[in-house]
A and B are shown apart, each in its own frame.
Chain A
Amino acid sequence: MAQAVPLYPLPVTVIGGYLGAGKTTLVNHLLRHANGRRIAIAVNEFGALPIDDDLIVGASGNVLTLAGGCICCTFGSDLVAGLMEIAQRANEIDHIVIEASGVALPGAIAQSLCLVPGLSLDAIVVVVDAETVRARAADPYIGDTIVRQLVDADLVVVNKCDLVGEADVQSLSDWLPTVARSARLIATTQANISPDVVLGIEAPTAFRSDVARAPHVVNGFASQVFAVDHPVQSAPLAAALADPDLGLVRAKGIVRDATLGLVVIQVAGQRSAVSPFKGDKPGVPRVICIAQSRRIDIERIALLIRAHRG
């Protein structure tokens, strides 16, 4: 029997990072705030059952049924077999999250996604423990693994910031970009970050609000919606929104491309992608941007959008 290929690729977010960084806390946080998003968690670490008890509805073989239509599969070291299994259930889920093992290289996992038809990489998110990451990165045995994990990150979640002083957070903010050269940093405690940041902005929640003059600030993250009332060159616009100078952790747009028609723009840190719009209610073409702890440069982004008029 040939592998079934779903109609639309399923977005996959790879969550990497060493033991104790907070990957499991983050996964549980995502599940608790899934808000209708049906997430499949694929766990690539032996032995760990990473789901809080109260989220588990049922179990069958290596698959847990979770609250809100989510599922969790554990598959030890056989990542691709696990993904193939999940891909068979593509019509039951919206998003796959891979919780990588502590020594896995998330970049290599991301490369393996192309081996399973119907999957597409959303982003590589690497979680680090603010208190220990510097020491781990200097460890004679695992230092190079930590560094290789960070090098591939689109977003670095600097977790447990409450355990270190402000000076240490600053010093980390200076050091991390020298390793995770292409990543956006997100400082947090207890992995308390919205799924819109970790998994990408989801239309029903993020596109609910109208275009506002001032950013909407929740939990330290500012979001801002921009109306796009003209056709654009979508790929260059997406790439421009991923410019590190803008400091956006995520952006998503439904815009009319000059040649492709209605498309979806997705930005995760430095990564950007354009795909055809597949819904039936696009609404007003617009782009929503999210940044952490800083003003979103409204004028500059508006200018940027105009500059990419198609």
Chain B
Amino acid sequence: MTTTIYAAKKIITMNPSRPYATHVAVREGRILGVGTLGELQAWGAHRLDQRFANKVLMPGLVEGHSHVSEGVFWRFVYCGYHDRTDPDGKTWAGVRTIENVVARLAEAHAKHPDGPLTGWALDPIYFDTDGRGGRRMTRADLDRVSKDRPIGIMHASGHILNVNTKALELAGMLRAGVNHPGVPVGADGLPTGEMKGPDAMTPLGRHVGLDRGMLAADEPGLRAFARLCVRKGVTTAADLANLLPEPAVAMMSRVGAEPLFPARIVSLRVMRDLGPKATIEHAASLKPKSNNLMRFGIVKIVVDGSIQGFSARLRWPGYLNGAGPGLWYVTPEHLREALEQALALGVQVHTHTNGDEATELVLDTLEAALKKHPHADHRFTLQHCQLANAAQFRRMKQLGMCVNLFPNHHFYWGDQHYTMTVGPERAERMNACATALATGVPLAIHSDAPVTPLGPLFTAWCAVTRTTASGRTLGAHERISVADALRTITLGAAYTLKLDSEVGSIEVGKQADFAVLEDDPETIGGDRLKDVGIWGTVQGGRVFDAATI
């Protein structure tokens, strides 16, 4: 039974009764005490560890909505517009023109000439040099990389795939007469190589290394994801949509039990293949298979689509461009069945709702379900919930719901929401963090990695500044303070995962999970929060240095 006392320049505890300290004592992976060295010495024999003497410790950061598949995507060629760091710590410069994308793929092609060539994170919305949305990438662009091997690039949204001619050929799609809204055709009557939406992407995916099953995350992907967590100061991350078949659960449990696996993963069972009742029962049956680092037992239900895809369910007056009201991904009946069964079995549910009508449906459905199955502490969580208005936040509060908003989305696509999807007024109130806090709705904020990069301090910066990619401050009144943001990416997210008794603050009895920072996030300034240096983490008392992970 060894005790280690870490000295730090500053320890931000998130424990209001002892908000700051200089030392934290760790025993058996848990926090023995927080205070001065003198106070902690009362616990007896110990080893004083000075390696963090010039660092700032925070509770280990908690990512409340990501996907382990971020670890899988890094096997592919990064084609994003913004700079991004991979699990090995290499920062890939953003590629800002189609020419740059082609050049980067050509480089990868020269290095690894066999099999399909796969890219990801393309975001042509930023290639807008002519003010009209820019030129779309076509198969001719990718044919310049290679005509002989199939090439595909997944867009950042995950909803569009660009492929070359060879890939179309292999999929039997290089033919005239394809009449589908997701498949633009060129002057020659053949598909241009842009495949939009899951239906159009599916026939191509397997030919360009993007099989849907594979992306659910495998063992190397899980390991890569966990290393990325260390680089971002994350000690607990939610994996929001996994089918959790038996082999995946067994693999995760095994990996999670290894002495050096560095992150806690909370994997949610998504309702996709099984019916509502069976999905809830499956999640309930998985809960006992959890270990300290792999947690199961929560269900995710996708209620609607996405705002930029015009498939989120919006209330009146709908989309700015008059697009239809969006799409339901679940019937209200199935949602009701799932929520009732979940309340009856004590299974927590997280619902994906982007549009305000989808949010309203969940509020209505949960309100009715709670009358049948009263539950004092269900913490059902609205995920994304980007367009909720003040009245909906008041209902969330009354119903005991939590919300996990998406400030990163606000940064990456807020400008498009302002001009194209919902217009200025609703764009300014999107991801209303300040309203959530003022209303008393337990709040988390998320990256949805790999949709946007994992990194709670960046997410916090987005919530604090509400800056968009173009530099606009979009909805100044919904900005939150640095203190609130830091609490949200620790205790706030932990609460939505029902882990706040174990993690989220540095106080006696909790897991010894720390983010080890080079800078002080409380004093660096809100507009520099994203630049806070991250040394690594302490997870369950184990030290992980980002430089050597």
* Closest B residue by C-beta to A62: B273
For residue A84, which residue of chain B has the nearest CB?
B203
| Chain A window 1-30, contacts with chain B (Cβ cutoff 8 Å), 1 for yes, 0 for no | 111010000000000001100000000000
Among B102-110, B323-331, B439-447, the stretch in contact with A:
B323-331
Q: Residue on B with the closest CB to A111? A: B180
Judging by beta carbons under 8 Å apart, are B172 and A144 in contact? Answer: no
A129 to B241, CA, bound (A): 34
CB <8 Å contact, B199 and A80: yes
B124 at the interface (CB under 8 A from A): no
Known A76-B272, A103-B327, A115-B199; contact A47-B279, beta-carbon cutoff 8 A: yes
A126 to chain B, nearest CB (A): 15
Q: How far is the CA of A80 from the CA of B327 in the complex (A)?
A: 18
User: A80 to B274, Cβ gap below 8 A?
Assistant: no
The answer to the question of B317 belonging to the interface, with a C-beta cut-off of 8 Å to chain A, is no
Task: Tell me if A115 and B275 are in contact (CB < 8 A).
Answer: no
Q: Which of B202, B274, B331 contacts A19 (CB 8 A)?
A: B331
A92-130 CB contact bits vs B (8 Å, 1 = yes)? Answer: 000000000111010010011011110000000000000
Within 8 A of A (CB), among B286-343: 324-325, 327-334
Is A48 on the interface with B (CB-CB < 8 A)? yes
| Complex-state Cα separation, A3 to B170, whole angstroms | 7
Count of B residues near A, CB < 8 Å? Answer: 39
Whether, in the assembled complex, B189 has its beta carbon less than 8 Å from a beta carbon of chain A, the answer is no
Is there an interface contact between B328 and A145, defined as CB atoms closer than 8 Å?
yes
> B344 within 8 Å of A by Cβ?
no
Report the bound CA distance from A5 to B203 in whole Å: 13
A125 CB to nearest B CB, Å: 19
Contacts of B325 in A (CB 8 A): 144
Q: Are A115 and B327 in contact (CB under 8 A)?
A: no
Residue of A nearest to B331 (CB): A102
Complex: chain A residue closest to B326, CB-CB: A144
Are B180 and A81 neighbours in the complex by a CB distance under 8 Å? no
Q: How far is the CA of A19 from the CA of B334 in the complex (A)?
A: 9
Q: Contacts of A203 on B, CB cut-off 8 Å?
A: none
Write out the residue numbers on chain B whose beta carbons fall within 8 Å of the beta carbon of A102: 331, 333-334
A79 to B272, CA, bound (A): 12
A15 to B169, CA, bound (A): 31
Is there a chain B Cβ closer than 8 Å to A78's Cβ?
A: yes
> Is A115 within 8 A of B178, CB to CB?
yes
A102 — nearest CB in chain B belongs to which residue?
Answer: B331
Which residues on B sit within 8 Å (CB–CB) of A84? 202-203
B271 within 8 A of A: yes
Q: List the B residue with the shortest CB-CB distance to A3.
A: B172
* CB atoms of B169 and A2 under 8 A apart: yes
- Scoring B169, B202, B275, B276 by chain A CB atoms within 10 A of each residue's CB, the highest score goes to B202
B331 and A78 contacting across the interface, CB-CB below 8 Å: no
Q: For residue B331, which residues in chain A have a CB less than 8 angstroms away from its CB?
A: 18-19, 101-103, 142
Given the known A-B contacts A19-B331, A103-B330, are A115 and B273 also in contact in the complex, defined by CB atoms under 8 Å? no
- If A79-B199, A84-B203 touch, whether A47 touches B172 (CB-CB below 8 Å) is no
Q: Is B2 on the interface with A (CB-CB < 8 A)?
A: no
B543 at interface (Cβ–Cβ under 8 A)? no
B181 within 8 A of A: yes
Partner of B172, one of A2, A46, A108, A141: A2
In the assembled complex, A77 has its CB within 8 A of some CB on chain B: yes
CB distance from B288 to the nearest CB of A (A): 23
Interface residues on A, range: 20 to 34
What's the Cα separation between A112 and B179 when bound, in Å? 9
Inter-chain contact B202/A80, CB cutoff 8 Å: yes
The answer to whether B202 touches A78, judged by C-beta atoms less than 8 angstroms apart, is yes
Query: Chain B 178-202, CB within 8 Å of chain A: the 1/0 string?
Result: 1111010000000000000011101
- Residue-by-residue, is B250-284 near A (CB-CB < 8 Å gives 1, otherwise 0)? 00000000000000000000011111111100000
**In the complex where A19-B333, A80-B202, A84-B203 touch, is A48 in contact with B275 (Cβ < 8 A)?**
yes
Kindly state the separation between the CA atoms of A142 and B335 in the bound complex, as whole angstroms.
13
A78, chain B: closest CB distance, angstroms: 7
User: How many angstroms between the C-alpha atoms of A105 and B357 in the bound complex?
Assistant: 19
Which residues of the partner chain B approach A101 to less than 8 Å between Cβ atoms?
A: 331
Residues of B within 8 A of A145 (CB): 328
Whether A46 contacts B273 by the Cβ 8 Å rule is: yes
A310 to B334, CA, bound (A): 54
Find chain B residues with CB under 8 A from A18 CB.
331
Say yes or no for B75: interface residue by CB 8 A criterion.
no
Please report the C-alpha to C-alpha distance between residue A141 and residue B327 in the assembled complex, in whole angstroms.
11
Residues of B within 8 A of A77 (CB): 198, 272, 329
Nearest residue, chain B, Cβ from A142? B332
Measured between beta carbons, the chain B residues less than 8 angstroms from A148 are: 324
In the docked arrangement, what's the CA distance between A80 and B276, Å?
23
C-alpha gap A48/B337 in the complex (Å): 14
Q: Is the CB of B180 within 8 A of A112?
A: yes
Q: Which of B203, B278, B329 contacts A47 (CB 8 A)?
A: B278
A20 to B361, CA, bound (A): 20
Within 8 A of B (CB), among A11-66: 18-19, 46-48
Contacts of A112 in B (CB 8 A): 180, 199-200
Contact A115 B183 (CB under 8 A): yes
Among the listed B170, B173, B212, which residue makes an inter-chain contact with A115, where contact means beta carbons less than 8 Å apart?
B173
B401 CB, nearest partner CB in chain A, Å? 18
Contact A115 B200 (CB under 8 A): yes
Asked if B471 lies at the interface with its beta carbon under 8 angstroms from chain A, I say no
CA–CA, A108 to B279, complex, Å? 27
* Interface residue from A46, A108, A116 paired with B274 (Cβ < 8 Å): A46
| Assembly CA distance A76 to B275 (angstroms) | 9
Whether the pair A142, B173 counts as a contact (CB closer than 8 A) is no
Bound state CA distance, A294 and B278, in angstroms?
A: 46
Q: A46-B272, A46-B274, A112-B180 are in contact. Are A3 and B199 (CB under 8 A)?
A: no
Would B203 and A141 count as touching, CB distance under 8 A? Answer: no
B177 at the interface (CB under 8 A from A): yes
Which chain B residues in 354-389 approach chain A with CB under 8 Å? 357, 361
Sampled A-B contacts (6; CB under 8 Å): A3-B172, A46-B273, A46-B334, A47-B277, A77-B272, A80-B198
4 additional A-B residue pairs with CB within 8 Å, beyond A46-B273, A74-B273, A84-B203: A78-B202, A101-B331, A112-B180, A115-B173
B contacts, CB < 8 Å to A: 169-173, 175, 177-181, 183, 198-200, 202-203, 212, 271-279, 324-325, 327-334, 357, 361
Rank and list the top 5 A-B pairs by shortest CB-CB distance, nearest first.
A47-B275, A3-B172, A80-B202, A117-B172, A103-B328
